[in-house]
């Protein structure tokens, strides 16, 4: 099962299907600590809505309501794309590859492209070697064990019905805070995701991508081979 499949399970409209799937995964999902954190975040977010009753904090209330709508858009996108995690990653690497040089024809970037060729054929990538690398890196990361582990840790295990709403709302709070952080850390990538109605899903790839963003921002990579080496050196792809 790939990372995007976990998100589809998480946001399955039919609650009974979700519970059945969670039961099947109960031996894998080790999220007791994460669930408690989600519930706390849900209570925190609910408390923020008190700002709607204070006129001078009306902008806070409007921001919260906007994030609710953006979250609905993002959930819809999970089902609109074949591999939503790969697509979000592709948008980032495509942006980065616009600003770096192509590497050696026999370098590590081209090797990754060849390795992932069969898996990226559905992405209809145009734009030459750099975008081909963006697609290859995106699919490789989205299907890595690291990405699956991150998703497992960030989605819910089975919960009593009484606390499910708070846990669900808590994940939404974390998604909103991650999107806000991305907006400050990498405004260009944030707005690319925003235009695609995907920025609220950044939370689910943040542990994997944040370090890469930091390295890119420090201008560590001058060509795609160096970027490929960093990715492969930090994630087993």
Q: What is the DSSP letter of 27?
A: T
Which positions ≥6 away from 222 have C-beta within 8 Å? 100, 101
Handedness of CA 144, 148, 222, 215 (dihedral sign): negative
Select from 91, 101, 139 the least CA-distant residue to 119: 139
Q: CA–CA separation, 92 vs 69, rounded Å? A: 23
For residues 23-45, average pLDDT = 58
179-213 confidence digits (pLDDT tens): 999 999 999 999 999 999 999 999 999 999 999 99
Q: CA–CA separation, 146 vs 105, rounded Å? A: 28
Q: Is the pLDDT of residue 29 over 60?
A: no
Please identify which residue in the block is written with the tokens 């709607």: 52
Q: CA–CA separation, 40 vs 168, rounded Å? A: 11
113-130 confidence digits (pLDDT tens): 888 877 776 666 666 778
pTM of the model: 0.77
pLDDT-derived band at 30 (thresholds 50, 70, 90) equals very low
Select from 56, 50, 91 the least CA-distant residue to 197: 91
Domain that holds residue 164: 3-234
Of the chain, the percentage scoring pLDDT greater than 90 comes to 25
Quote the pLDDT of residue 12. Answer: 62
Number of domains into which the chain is organized: 1
CB 199 within 8 Å of CB 190: yes
Q: CA–CA separation, 45 vs 169, rounded Å? A: 8
């Amino acid at each position: 099962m790939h990372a995007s499949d976990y998100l589809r399970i998480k946001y399955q409209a039919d609650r009974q299907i979700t519970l059945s799937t969670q039961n099947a995964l109960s031996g894998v999902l080790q999220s007791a600590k994460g669930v408690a954190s989600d519930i706390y975040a849900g209570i925190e977010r609910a408390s923020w809505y008190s700002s709607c009753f204070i006129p001078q904090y009306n902008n806070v209330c409007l921001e919260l309501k906007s994030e609710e709508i953006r979250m609905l858009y993002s959930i819809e996108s999970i089902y609109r794309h074949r591999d939503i995690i790969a697509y979000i990653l592709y948008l980032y690497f495509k942006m980065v590859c616009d600003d770096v040089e192509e590497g050696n024809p026999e370098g590590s970037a081209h090797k990754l492209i060849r390795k992932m060729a069969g898996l990226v054929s559905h992405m209809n990538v145009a734009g030459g070697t750099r975008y081909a690398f963006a697609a290859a890196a995106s699919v490789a990361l989205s299907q890595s064990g690291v990405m699956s582990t991150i998703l497992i840790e960030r989605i819910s295990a089975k919960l009593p019905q009484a606390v499910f709403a708070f846990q669900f709302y808590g994940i939404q709070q974390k998604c909103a805070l991650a999107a806000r952080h991305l907006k400050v850390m990498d405004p260009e990538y944030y707005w690319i995701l925003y235009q695609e109605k995907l920025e609220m899903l950044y939370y689910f790839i943040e542990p994997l991508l944040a370090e890469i963003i930091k390295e890119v921002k420090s201008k560590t990579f001058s060509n795609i081979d160096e970027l490929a080496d960093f990715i492969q050196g930090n994630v087993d792809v």
